[in-house]
Amino acid sequence: MSMIDFSTDGPVAVIKLNRPPVNALSEEFAGEILEAVERCQDDAFRAVMIYGDPLFSVGADIKGFKERLDNAEDVDPDAAKRLL
């Protein structure tokens, strides 16, 4: 996982968001977060810490979503405009 650093500290799973500069959520990034969280389902973990440095996350990568919508063939253009 290139945008997620996963480590453990005893019974604590540690997930560090690592998508500079602001950890904006893209589809790929969200998938990596989900994979890391799924790794935490092991009974050996008692807690999970998720953090980013310097920010947790600013939210959605709007530029990335717009590019994807612009390149999509099966998207209703009017619906896509309402999302932006």
Strands 12-17 and 47-52: parallel
Asked if the peptide bond before residue 54 counts as cis, ω within 30 degrees of 0, the response is yes
Each residue's pLDDT tens digit, 68-80:
767 766 656 666 5
Q: Distances from the Cα of 48 to the Cαs of 28, 29, 66, in angstroms? A: 21, 18, 32
Provide the residue-wise pLDDT of the chain in tens; the chain has 84 residues: 589 999 999 999 999 999 999 999 988 999 999 999 999 999 999 999 999 988 999 988 888 777 776 776 665 666 655 545
Q: Does the global pTM surpass 0.85?
A: no
Q: Is 22 exposed, middle or buried (0-12, 13-18, 19+ CB in 10 A)?
A: middle
